[in-house]
């Protein structure tokens, strides 16, 4: 059994060997600035464009539709703020709709737009963690500039019906832009098909075996976007700054490996996940957050009555099990999850919930370790004087 | 010595950092925890992100696990709300005492138990000692100027059995010297001042946002009006400065009547009382005999004076200035804490 069971793949993943190998030359040998004109620059530029082509193919886009960014947060900010500002400048509405359980990179971007005078609203989600399409249909109208609905939720792992969102938009607000945060989706589902109807698609390298600090935004069909950064005009003016060639190459290699092995990974990890869930179900009172039939293969999200997740995570860490709860804030404290709140869980149930997320390198021993540690920790916490009642 | 599993409350300051370092040096299995207590706007005070970062960095230096627990809800309910309520009703709050009672030696001590930690340690300057009869006792710190036994006087023997104060055996200078020798990044960090959740703007602005100001009169002890004020929250019993009245003599606040928003001022001798009604008594061990001579301390940095505890009242040997309702009273036998009480209305 390994010394530690890493069950936090939704937070970050190890870099895949093929991604690391692909990146290494671009730190030292081929270090040129891709914007230059000499041999070193040309080599870097060539690698950057090859990466772009590879990513475009895997995401079902054209190479000219791929904008490299520093990661999921920047992609989300650029999509939501950039597209909304551009739409307003063209008189195409000033209303922004986001689902209530988006990542903070989308919610905070929408809050920023609200300060700029946009009308923003959060579309409710069901108790099972699926966007409420009726509420969305009621909210969308001709003034809607942008709709942002994530493809897979980062906490509970539910896949959202993006095709149905697009269908509603096509009828009620054909000019509105659809953005999807596919950061948590890319490891588990075919983004090329499931996000085919989205105009803007965010992805991040480090959730799929690539490096941190690299991501991309698919910008389909020349959707107008106001950039976040000004400068040298790289990435067709949408993202100034010297290109992170190694990051782009790492993203491309990680995505290629992810897509190539997806069917096998989903089947293998899904089996591990099901065994983990079945084992945890022995804990009296345990419930599952998020509709189990709509989840990606790597997600386990459970609530355990009589237990505070904050304390459980300490005991699990001590037992060599790395898990997560809520969303981490800058201080490192665990805040009650806005995702669970949006699904209607009350505060104490949200604070009794933890996420165990598996990934491409998860092994059976990780599940064994978790199934040894978690029931014992729960028993210990429930027996203590401070246990919530 | 037996190695125990110890949870250390690390504020990011030098005292609790050295407490953790000493326990690691002694070979204990130490886990650091920083409490996020206040999510309000004064995030430059205690438990701000930079304090958490200091604690985290020290824990990394000591190679111990470190976590942040979010107790903002309990802190709001048990510390901040009573603080505001006390000022609104003309009383004087004890936020540090409330925090110790409900957060550190309440919820966190329970959490230590839940986590299988035999001991909770903090950076308080006080000494926990074993008496000749084997009983656990709380004593004043080695560094008299830094002694914090007053704000710990409500702890009972059952709690003290599970609580350690490693730096209480050291002077503050020795704490800093030790931190320097260990190259702890916060060795020279200034001591925290005042109430942790109040920073810029001070108490008055904090309260102004939370307590509806109600103007009233300032009267003298004969009842004659000598001035006006914009709200009682600005006043505390015994206060001399900032009364906003011009008289020939020194005047002190001797009474605050919240219902009529009246502040009564008088001379220093008008504050003197020979007795003090108290409630909510706690004792480290047993209730002392009614005629036992005690030392009585009514302020964190006040002097302890001679008195006895008789039927719900402190009877002073010499009359003492009046103390506002809500204030903690600590009882000592020499330098040993006997118990605590809260000043009644």
What's the CATH number where A83 sits?
3.40.640.10
- Per-residue pLDDT band at B203 (split at 50, 70, 90): confident
> In this predicted structure, what is the pLDDT of residue A132?
98
Whether B257 is in a domain gets the answer yes
Whether B325 is in a domain gets the answer yes
Q: Are residues B242 and B95 in the same domain?
A: no
Q: Residue B104: list chain A partners with CB under 8 A.
A: none
Closest chain B residue by Cα to residue A379 = B114
Whether A209 is in a domain gets the answer yes
Domain that holds residue B318: 271-343
> In this predicted structure, what is the pLDDT of residue B4?
97
> In this predicted structure, what is the pLDDT of residue A329?
62
Q: Are residues B221 and B281 in the same domain?
A: no
Number of domains present in the structure of chain B: 3
Q: Are residues A78 and A223 in the same domain?
A: yes
Whether B17 is in a domain gets the answer yes
- Per-residue pLDDT band at A186 (split at 50, 70, 90): very high
Q: Are residues A80 and A43 in the same domain?
A: yes
Q: Are residues B87 and B26 in the same domain?
A: yes
What is the mean pLDDT of the segment spanning B244-265?
Answer: 85
> In this predicted structure, what is the pLDDT of residue B1?
63
What is the mean pLDDT of the segment spanning A214-218?
Answer: 98
Domain that holds residue A307: 5-13+262-383
Quote the DSSP letter at residue A82.
I
Does pLDDT of B198 surpass 90?
no
Q: Are residues B244 and B310 in the same domain?
A: no
Closest chain B residue by Cα to residue A377 = B115
Q: Are residues A152 and A62 in the same domain?
A: yes
Last residue of a domain, one of A222, A257, A292: A257
Q: How far is B202 from chain A (nearest CA, A)?
A: 24
Q: Are residues A281 and A132 in the same domain?
A: no
Residues facing residue B229 across a β-bridge? B216
List the single best residue of B32, B114, B120 to mutate versus A (max A Cβ within 10 A): B114
pLDDT in tens, A88-108: 999 999 999 999 999 999 999
Q: Residue A313: list chain B partners with CB under 8 A.
A: 67
Residue carrying the six token digits 């004890």: B94
Q: Residue A331: list chain B partners with CB under 8 A.
A: 36, 47, 49, 52, 68
What is the mean pLDDT of the segment spanning B151-155?
Answer: 96
> In this predicted structure, what is the pLDDT of residue B43?
46
From residue B206, give the alpha-carbon distance in Å to each of A112, A207, B215, B237, B324: 28, 44, 18, 19, 20
Rounded Cα distance between A33 and A70, Å, is 17
Whether A232 is in a domain gets the answer yes
Q: Are residues B220 and B295 in the same domain?
A: no
What's the CATH number where B288 sits?
2.40.30.10
Does pLDDT of B287 surpass 70?
yes
> In this predicted structure, what is the pLDDT of residue B335?
96
Contact between B69 and A333 using a beta-carbon 8 Å cutoff: yes
Phi–psi pair at B40, nearest 5 degrees: -70, -175
Q: Are residues B14 and B102 in the same domain?
A: yes
What is the mean pLDDT of the segment spanning A226-240?
Answer: 96
Whether A222 is in a domain gets the answer yes
Give the closest of A333, A335, A386 to B114, CB-based: A386
Does pLDDT of A257 surpass 70?
yes
Q: Are residues A28 and A175 in the same domain?
A: yes
Give the closest of B56, B69, B115 to A315, CB-based: B115
What is the mean pLDDT of the segment spanning B157-179?
Answer: 97
Whether B50 is in a domain gets the answer yes
Contact between A310 and B115 using a beta-carbon 8 Å cutoff: no
Does pLDDT of B132 surpass 90?
no
pLDDT in tens, A55-87: 999 999 999 999 999 999 999 999 999 999 999
Which spans in A158-308 are helix H?
Answer: 162-172, 191-194, 245-280
**Judging by DSSP bridges, how do beta strands A215-219 and A66-69 pair with one another?**
antiparallel
Give the closest of B49, B65, B116 to A380, CB-based: B116
Number of domains present in the structure of chain A: 2
Q: Are residues B225 and B108 in the same domain?
A: no
Give the closest of A332, A380, A387 to B68, CB-based: A332
Q: Residue B31: list chain A partners with CB under 8 A.
A: 314
Whether B139 is in a domain gets the answer no
Q: Residue A318: list chain B partners with CB under 8 A.
A: 65
What's the CATH number where A308 sits?
3.90.1150.10
Rounded Cα distance between B25 and A338, Å, is 41
> In this predicted structure, what is the pLDDT of residue B42?
44
List the single best residue of A321, A326, A332, A388 to mutate versus B (max B Cβ within 10 A): A332
Q: Which residues of B are catalytic?
A: 99, 196
Whether B254 is in a domain gets the answer yes
Catalytic-labelled residue, pool A267, A329, A365, A376: A329
Q: Are residues B249 and B233 in the same domain?
A: yes
Share of chain A above pLDDT 90, in %: 94
Residues of B within an 8 Å Cβ radius of A: 31, 34, 36, 47, 49, 52, 56, 65, 67-70, 107, 110-111, 113-116
> In this predicted structure, what is the pLDDT of residue B319?
94
Does pLDDT of B201 surpass 80?
no
- 3-class secondary structure, B129: strand
Last residue of a domain, one of A238, A257, A276: A257
> In this predicted structure, what is the pLDDT of residue A1?
46
In whole numbers, what is the pLDDT of chain A averaged over residues?
95
Across chain A, where does the E strand assignment appear? 5-6, 66-69, 95-99, 119-123, 144-148, 177-181, 200-204, 215-219, 287-288, 299-303, 321-322, 327-328, 334-335, 353-357
Share of chain B above pLDDT 90, in %: 61
What's the CATH number where B218 sits?
2.30.30.280
Q: Are residues B21 and B99 in the same domain?
A: yes
Please confirm, yes or no, whether A322 is among the known catalytic residues: no
Q: Are residues A243 and A312 in the same domain?
A: no
Whether A140 is in a domain gets the answer yes
Contact between B113 and A314 using a beta-carbon 8 Å cutoff: no
> In this predicted structure, what is the pLDDT of residue B259?
87
Contact between B115 and A314 using a beta-carbon 8 Å cutoff: yes
Rounded Cα distance between A374 and A190, Å, is 32
Last residue of a domain, one of A240, A257, A274: A257
pLDDT in tens, B49-92: 788 899 999 999 999 999 999 999 999 999 999 999 988 887 88
Does pLDDT of B245 surpass 80?
no
* CA-atom Rg of chain A in angstroms: 21
Q: Are residues A43 and A75 in the same domain?
A: yes
Tell which wins on pLDDT, B289 or A138: A138
Rounded Cα distance between B53 and B62, Å, is 14
Whether B92 is in a domain gets the answer yes
Whether A26 is in a domain gets the answer yes
The pTM assigned to this predicted structure is 0.92
Q: Are residues A339 and A352 in the same domain?
A: yes
> In this predicted structure, what is the pLDDT of residue B239?
86
Whether A389 is in a domain gets the answer no
Tell which wins on pLDDT, B288 or A328: B288
Q: Are residues A9 and A141 in the same domain?
A: no
Q: Residue B107: list chain A partners with CB under 8 A.
A: 386
- Selection from B341, B323, B322 nearest residue B331 by Cα: B341
Contact between A334 and B70 using a beta-carbon 8 Å cutoff: yes
Contacts across the A-B interface (CB distance below 8 Å): 51
What is the mean pLDDT of the segment spanning B31-38?
Answer: 92
Q: Are residues A235 and A373 in the same domain?
A: no
Rounded Cα distance between A336 and A338, Å, is 6
Whether B319 is in a domain gets the answer yes
ipTM of the complex: 0.89
Length in residues, chain B: 345
Q: Are residues B34 and B92 in the same domain?
A: yes
Residues of A within an 8 Å Cβ radius of B: 308, 310-311, 313-315, 317-318, 330-335, 380-381, 384-387
Contact between A331 and B36 using a beta-carbon 8 Å cutoff: yes
> In this predicted structure, what is the pLDDT of residue B200?
67
Q: How far is A295 from chain B (nearest CA, A)?
A: 29
pLDDT in tens, A352-362: 999 999 999 99
Rounded Cα distance between B141 and B34, Å, is 23
Q: Are residues B220 and B118 in the same domain?
A: no
Q: Are residues B86 and B69 in the same domain?
A: yes
Q: Are residues A70 and A216 in the same domain?
A: yes
- Per-residue pLDDT band at A267 (split at 50, 70, 90): very high
What's the CATH number where B74 sits?
3.40.50.620
From residue B33, give the alpha-carbon distance in Å to each of A186, A353, B47: 36, 21, 11
pLDDT in tens, A337-389: 999 999 999 999 999 999 999 999 999 999 999 999 999 999 999 998 766 65
With 0-12 CB in 10 A as exposed, 13-18 as middle and 19+ as buried, what is A92?
A: buried
What is the mean pLDDT of the segment spanning A146-175?
Answer: 97
Contact between B115 and A311 using a beta-carbon 8 Å cutoff: yes
Dihedral angle sign, alpha carbons of residues A72, A75, A76, A77: positive
Rounded Cα distance between B166 and B28, Å, is 12
Q: How far is A329 from chain B (nearest CA, A)?
A: 10
């Amino acid at each position: 059994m390994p010394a530690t069971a890493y069950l936090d793949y939704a937070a970050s993943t190890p870099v895949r060997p093929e991604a690391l190998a692909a990146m290494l030359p671009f730190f030292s040998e081929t270090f040129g600035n891709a914007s230059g004109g000499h041999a070193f620059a040309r080599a870097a530029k060539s690698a950057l464009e090859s990466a772009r082509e590879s990513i475009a193919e895997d995401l079902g886009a054209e190479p000219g539709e791929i904008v490299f960014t520093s990661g999921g947060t920047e992609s989300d900010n650029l999509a939501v703020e950039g597209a909304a500002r551009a739409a307003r400048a063209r008189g195409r509405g000033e209303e922004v709709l986001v689902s209530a359980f988006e990542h903070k990179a989308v919610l905070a971007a929408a809050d920023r737009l609200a300060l700029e005078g946009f009308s923003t609203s959060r579309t409710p989600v069901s108790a099972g963690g699926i966007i409420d399409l009726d509420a969305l249909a009621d909210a969308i109208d001709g003034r809607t500039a942008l709709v942002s609905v994530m493809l897979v939720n980062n906490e509970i792992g539910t896949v959202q019906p993006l095709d149905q969102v697009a269908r509603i938009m096509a009828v009620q607000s054909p000019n509105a832009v659809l953005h999807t945060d596919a950061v948590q989706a890319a490891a588990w589902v075919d983004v090329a098909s499931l996000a085919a109807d989205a105009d803007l698609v965010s992805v991040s390298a480090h959730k799929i075996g690539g490096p941190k600090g690299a991501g991309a935004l698919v910008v389909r069909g020349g959707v107008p976007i106001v950039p976040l950064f000004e400068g040298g005009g790289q990435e067709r003016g949408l993202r100034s700054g010297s290109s992170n060639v190694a990051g782009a190459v790492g993203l491309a290699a990680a995505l290629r490996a992810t897509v190539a092995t997806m069917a096998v990974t989903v089947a293998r990890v899904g089996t591990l996940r099901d065994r983990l869930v079945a084992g945890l179900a022995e804990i009296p009172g345990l419930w599952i957050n998020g509709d189990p039939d709509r989840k990606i293969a790597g997600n386990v999200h459970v609530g355990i009555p009589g237990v505070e997740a904050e304390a459980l995570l300490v005991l699990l860490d001590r037992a060599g099990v790395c898990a997560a709860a809520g969303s981490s804030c800058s201080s490192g404290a665990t805040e009650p999850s806005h995702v669970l709140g949006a699904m209607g869980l009350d505060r104490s149930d949200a604070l009794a919930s933890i996420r165990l997320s598996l990934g491409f390198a998860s092994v059976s021993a990780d599940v064994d370790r978790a199934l040894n540690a978690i029931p014992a920790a729960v028993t210990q916490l429930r027996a203590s004087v401070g246990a919530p009642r | 010595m037996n190695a125990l599993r110890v949870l250390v409350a690390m504020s990011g300051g030098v005292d609790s950092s050295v407490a953790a370092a000493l326990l690691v040096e002694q070979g204990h299995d130490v886990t650091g925890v920083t409490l996020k207590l206040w999510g309000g706007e004064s995030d430059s005070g205690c438990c701000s992100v930079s304090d958490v970062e200091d604690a985290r960095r020290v824990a990394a230096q000591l190679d111990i696990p470190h976590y942040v627990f979010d107790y903002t809800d309990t802190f709001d309910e048990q510390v901040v709300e009573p603080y505001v309520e006390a000022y609104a009703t003309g009383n004087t709050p004890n936020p540090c005492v409330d925090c110790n009672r409900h957060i550190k030696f309440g919820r966190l001590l329970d959490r230590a138990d839940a986590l299988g930690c035999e001991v909770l340690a903090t950076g308080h300057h006080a000494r926990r000692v074993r008496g000749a009869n084997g009983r656990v006792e709380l004593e004043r710190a080695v560094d008299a100027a830094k002694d914090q036994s007053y704000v710990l006087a409500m702890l009972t023997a059952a709690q003290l059995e599970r609580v350690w104060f490693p730096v209480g055996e050291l002077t503050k200078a020795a704490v800093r010297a030790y931190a320097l020798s260990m190259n702890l990044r916060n060795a020279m960090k200034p001591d925290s001042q005042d109430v942790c959740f109040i920073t810029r703007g001070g108490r008055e602005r904090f309260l102004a946002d939370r307590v509806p100001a109600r103007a009233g009169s300032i009267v003298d002890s004969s009842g004659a009006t000598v001035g006006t004020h914009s709200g009682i929250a600005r006043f505390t019993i015994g206060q001399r400065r900032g009364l906003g009245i011009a008289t020939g003599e020194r005047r002190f606040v001797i009474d605050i009547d919240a219902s009529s928003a009246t502040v009564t001022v008088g001379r220093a001798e008008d504050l003197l009382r020979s007795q003090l009604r108290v409630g909510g008594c706690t004792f480290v061990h047993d209730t002392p005999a009614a005629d036992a001579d005690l030392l009585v301390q009514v302020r964190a940095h006040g002097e302890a004076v001679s008195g006895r505890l008789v039927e719900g009242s402190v009877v002073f040997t010499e009359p003492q200035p009046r103390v506002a309702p809500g204030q903690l009273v600590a009882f000592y036998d020499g330098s040993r804490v006997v118990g605590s009480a809260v000043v009644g209305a």
